[in-house]
Amino acid sequence: MKKLFTGVILFALFIGFTGTTLAADGSAIFKAKCLACHGPDGKGTVMAPAFKGNAYINDSTAEEITATIKDGRNGAAKKYKNFALGMPPQHLNDDELSAVVSYLKSLASESAE
């Protein structure tokens, strides 16, 4: 009985662990939801700015970046004149947001090419 109990606990831990890893893979979330506009490796496209060496990402807090991702950037909030369209609000949960923000921070810390 004790063995079975330990097995169940280990199994639950395992599921919990893999679940979190999957939900919090910033690079995978970026590929799925952001790459189409922001480009592979955050290099930017004609649609949206690059993240490599991005001063806004380097100089902003995680909270500020999270708010930008959740709210998007449209109308008066839009900052870049060279991109015709704004950014639509992104629907991510808190784990996904913090994972993707860490990923953006790591991209931004690399110098732009």
Binding-site ranges for ligand HEC (CB under 6 A)? 33-34, 36-38, 47-49, 54, 56, 65, 68-69, 73, 78-80, 83, 85-88, 90, 100
Closest distance of CB 32 from ligand HEC, Å? 8
Distance CA 13, CA 69 (A): 31
> Residues with Cβ < 8 Å from 50, sequence gap 6 or more?
38, 39, 42, 43, 44, 112
Closest distance of CB 61 from ligand HEC, Å? 12
Measured from the CB atom, the residue of 4 and 84 that comes closer to ligand HEC is 84
Measured from the CB atom, the residue of 17 and 80 that comes closer to ligand HEC is 80
Burial state string for 20-31 with b = 16 or more CB within 10 A and e = fewer than 16: eeeebbbebbbe
